[in-house]
Structure 1
């Protein structure tokens, strides 16, 4: 993992440490934009399950809001961190819905995942190999 991506993971872990609430705020996603800035998102759970919002979706909205002209700025790298109740931290891949969202906007983004107990980076398009890319 490059120093920049390690910084991304550190930012996610630091925010997760501050906001963690078991069952409500258990995941933080961090996205590095092309301008070098980091945008974060926190998983927000709700009692009516459809009201839950994944951390990647929140971070994606922040990335779009960050762009001065309102167009989605390129996202270079993404990492999502889950904290379990016992306090352990885990790099996780985006859920299917978030993988769809990420590949809709940033198909070439580098996404960190844990595969075979090893941290590895994949292109966002590798998360959904059969996905048809949407033209906006």
Structure 2
């Protein structure tokens, strides 16, 4: 095992407080939130079971180490499905974000918050 991999290899959790593994060396039953979501699962209230650590040049200010938390797939629960009313409310909320308050039309994209109006109305007000 290389020095970099050995730096993050801590399955007992003595060094980092959580069981830790280098990139792509975690046990198969431990998955990240995105991996759980891809399988249609959610953590289901369980605590973080471990972490994957890797060095990153992009995060030098934070010590140059990034982490991805791991959850046990055996304790995960299926994702909840929204009710019809929740889906309808979400549709209305998203439509409100696409509706210009000046011309009152659905422009098909989310309005920029710094403008507060659609691009056409912003161009017209800038030209005037």
| TM-score (structure 2 length as normaliser) | 0.25
**Which is greater in Rg?**
2
| TM-score (structure 1 length as normaliser) | 0.24
